Structure 1
Amino acid sequence: MNILIKKAQIVDPSNKEYHLKKHDILIKDGIIAEIATDIQTGENIEILEKDNLHVSTGWFDSSVSFGEPGYEERETIKHGLFVAAKSGFTDIVLNPNTNPVPDSSSDIVFLKNAAKESATSLYPLGALTVGAEGEALAELYDMKNAGAVGFYDYKHPLKNANLLKIALQYNQNFNGLVHSFPLDKQISGKGIVSEGEISTKLGLKGIPHLAEELFIARDLYILEYTGGKLHIPTISTAKGVKLIAEAKKKGLDVSCSVAIHNLYFTDASLEGFDSHFKLMPPLRTKEDSKALIAGLQDGTIDYVTTDHRPMDIELKRVEFDNAEDGTIGLETAFGILNQLFDLETLISLLTKGRERYGIPTPKLQVGESATLTLFNPEPEFTLDTEHILSASKNSCFIGSTLKGKVYGSIAKKQLIS
């Protein structure tokens, strides 16, 4: 792959030499060969020019679901990774919520092999417990050796505190990363939305903030006792941010993430009973959203995620109470975040987090492999289903105004645009 990118504004806050400067970038055989203000080249070089072209290192998402194996009608690995590449993501962490769930080394090998030819790299999580049933630890060490970058019973909280204790202790033998979804099912009960004024007004059963915060506090106490590495995915409350900030001040090895929709929407969006807004964790208050954004800005929350979760149409086009949780988000990530943060902060958020999973961080420098995202931060448009490439169309952002256009990405000697 030989490409000459012309007149691109480089956005790379970690690179003072090129940051916010307009340069040509020459890529030969997948390697960045030259970066200069004006590069002249001969034949057999593809010229890439776009309106208001901006370039950054490739984006990363720590929480993506597809469907294969078991739910291929929702999304296959091949097509899902193509959508990710078109959306600017060159590396994604795949959630273990397929059928069967990946709880053995052979399952991890299957997922890795299915993604080999794609431009976007796939890093699978293995289930923390056998069948994600929360009863016994899965083959964690074998999965780690096969390529699993962490362990997670996706959206299933670990009700057995002792099992989490053992998992954190055991994973220290091989530097494993344990995920724990924060939800106390005994407190949440049959709740489906955030408990508060909106849930009462709509007559929907609520999930108290306490249900999330109790488990965050529990998990942090266990981590303080055991040591190890803990990741708390997709937090949604202001108190949760505070609890994690306090744990980090103690020196605990904990990280956390937040889903983009919990930054952008609040429970006020539920008033139309649109099942696209049935999410887990649920949409919270404006005060929670503000605290989550502030947590990203001050580093308490380590990274932002799409929490991309395709769903069959028949699982969403039902009464709100009976609909499945989840929204897709890869294609809308940039257009939403671009309204919440300045461009430098936004690109920092979209490119950080790999280190937590032991994934190499690409560099926009001569001699490095070209792992780049191409975009224009200016255009605005209203999202419609016709803009969605994903096999499933269950997006809570349909009808929202997006700012910015992603042209695609370059990775593993492929241009996807």
Structure 2
Amino acid sequence: MNVLVKSATIVDPKSDFHNQTVDVLIEKGLISQISKQIDNPKNHKEIKLENLHLSQGWFDSSVSFGEPGFEERETIANGLNTAANSGFTAVAVNSNTNPVIDSYADISFLKAKAKNHPVSLYPIGALTKHSDGEDLAELFDMTSAGAVAFYDYQKPIKNPNLMKLALQYASNFGGLVYSFPQESKISGLGVMNENVTSTSLGLKGNPTLAEELQIARDLFILEYTEGKLHIPTISTAKSVELIRAAKQKKLDVTCSVAIHNLVFTDEHLETFNTNFKVLPPLRTQKDMDALIEGFKDGTIDMVTSDHNPIDIEHKKIEFDFAKYGTIGLESAFGALNSIFTIKKTIELLTKGKERYGIKSSPIAVGNDADLSLFNPEDSYTFSAENITSTSKNSIFLGKELKGKVYGIISNNQIVIK
């Protein structure tokens, strides 16, 4: 693959060309030249796009596809195409399929389905067998097959001794253990944040206490085991405080926040639109402000779309019975770019790879071309036309977003919408 990218503004603090508008020549998948003006005597394919910007390829640490078992929600092929069209060159894919991804063979299946795709797929294996929370899965075997972490997607580990054993065992080979932040006996049957809004709507509440108790427990266990822990999709102000304190104690902990928890509050549930039924639930403005502050001071390590396709039969029903989840790949860039500066947006979209042992590739001569292409200034209203996922359950429908994704250059391939 040979291509000449014309007049692109580089957004990459690790590049000597950061904030410069340059031409970039890519030959056989490698960046061979970067200059103010590059001629094209070999007549390579040229990419010329309005207000074109380039950054290192974006990474999402929590993406769900349906395959195997729930192909009506999303296949791996269409999911990866959606990721490419959304500007992502790498995604970590959750184990919430049928059967659950909990063995060497399952990890190998995911890797094989994604082979030779422009988007790199990094499997997250289940932490426990069948994600039932009883016995540890084949963690070392899955690591050997290519798993980058272990997570029972959106299922808390109720048994603290099991979490202790997981952290101790995985530390023998540097395994990254996820723990979903929810104490299920406290959250009960709650379907939204517990406060005045849940009372006024007559919906059962899921209190912030449920999240914070679980995080506090897991941080104590982490300190005891000296393991390696990731807490996905935190949502409360107190959670930020707890993790900030843990990092000050030098514990090996990282965390993420789902992008929709930075945009919407629980007040948006007043219409009973089930696209707003997510887990953890949407919280208050105070919580949202604390999350944003957590990004600014480095307490929170990464964002995720927490992309979770749900078919219409499980979404367009009574709120109490609808499944949790929203798709988020297509809206991720536009949503973040509406909150943060373009510099901060790209920083968040490219952070986190090192936690999973994934190599970054700064924009420099000799490096792999692992690039996301975008226009940071193009505003629009997100609609069904912007969705390429098979499922259409987007929390962002009707929302004003800022920034247009053009595509990616990755794995010696080009995807331009």
Q: When the two structures are superposed, what TM-score results if normalisation uses the length of structure 1?
A: 0.99
| Partner Cα separation in structure 2 for residue 364 and residue 96 of structure 1 | 32
For residues 116-140 of structure 1, the C-alpha deviation after alignment (integer angstroms, 9 at most, x for no partner) is 0210000001100000000000100
Structure 1 counterpart of 2:153, one-letter code: Y
1:309 aligned residue: 308
| Partner Cα separation in structure 2 for residue 188 and residue 77 of structure 1 | 32
Q: Which runs of 5+ in 1 are unaligned?
A: none
2:104 aligned residue: 105
**Shift in Å at residue 386 of structure 1?**
1.4
**Shift in Å at residue 303 of structure 1?**
0.2
2:81 aligned residue: 82
| Partner Cα separation in structure 1 for residue 100 and residue 362 of structure 2 | 34
2:39 aligned residue: 40
**Shift in Å at residue 14 of structure 1?**
2.3
Alpha carbons 1:59, 1:91 under 8 Å: kept = yes
1:12 aligned residue: 12
1:365 aligned residue: 364
2:234 aligned residue: 235
2:137 aligned residue: 138
For residues 232-259 of structure 1, the C-alpha deviation after alignment (integer angstroms, 9 at most, x for no partner) is 0000000000000000000100000000
**Shift in Å at residue 316 of structure 1?**
0.5
Alpha carbons 2:272, 2:319 under 8 Å: kept = yes
For residues 363-406 of structure 1, the C-alpha deviation after alignment (integer angstroms, 9 at most, x for no partner) is 21101110000000111111111111111100000000011100
2:346 aligned residue: 347
| Partner Cα separation in structure 2 for residue 64 and residue 148 of structure 1 | 14
| Partner Cα separation in structure 2 for residue 14 and residue 32 of structure 1 | 15
1:327 aligned residue: 326
Alpha carbons 1:2, 1:44 under 8 Å: kept = no
1:193 aligned residue: 192
| Partner Cα separation in structure 2 for residue 148 and residue 44 of structure 1 | 41
Structure 2 counterpart of 1:4, one-letter code: L
| Partner Cα separation in structure 2 for residue 71 and residue 346 of structure 1 | 32
SS of aligned partner of 1:380: strand
For residues 70-125 of structure 1, the C-alpha deviation after alignment (integer angstroms, 9 at most, x for no partner) is 00111111111011011100010001100001111000000000000210000001
Question: How many equivalent residue pairs?
Answer: 416
**Shift in Å at residue 277 of structure 1?**
0.2
| Partner Cα separation in structure 1 for residue 321 and residue 363 of structure 2 | 47
**Shift in Å at residue 13 of structure 1?**
1.8
Residue 390, structure 1, aligned to residue 389, structure 2: yes
Instruction: Give the % identical residues.
Output: 60
Q: Which runs of 5+ in 2 are unaligned?
A: none
**Shift in Å at residue 361 of structure 1?**
1.0
2:215 aligned residue: 216
1:58 aligned residue: 57
| Partner Cα separation in structure 2 for residue 352 and residue 414 of structure 1 | 22
| Partner Cα separation in structure 1 for residue 117 and residue 77 of structure 2 | 7
Q: When the two structures are superposed, what TM-score results if normalisation uses the length of structure 2?
A: 0.99
SS of aligned partner of 1:314: helix
| Partner Cα separation in structure 2 for residue 13 and residue 348 of structure 1 | 9
| Partner Cα separation in structure 2 for residue 357 and residue 338 of structure 1 | 25
**Shift in Å at residue 212 of structure 1?**
0.2
| Partner Cα separation in structure 2 for residue 37 and residue 203 of structure 1 | 61
Residue 289, structure 1, aligned to residue 271, structure 2: no
Alpha carbons 1:339, 1:403 under 8 Å: kept = yes
Structure 2 counterpart of 1:310, one-letter code: P
| Partner Cα separation in structure 2 for residue 128 and residue 389 of structure 1 | 30
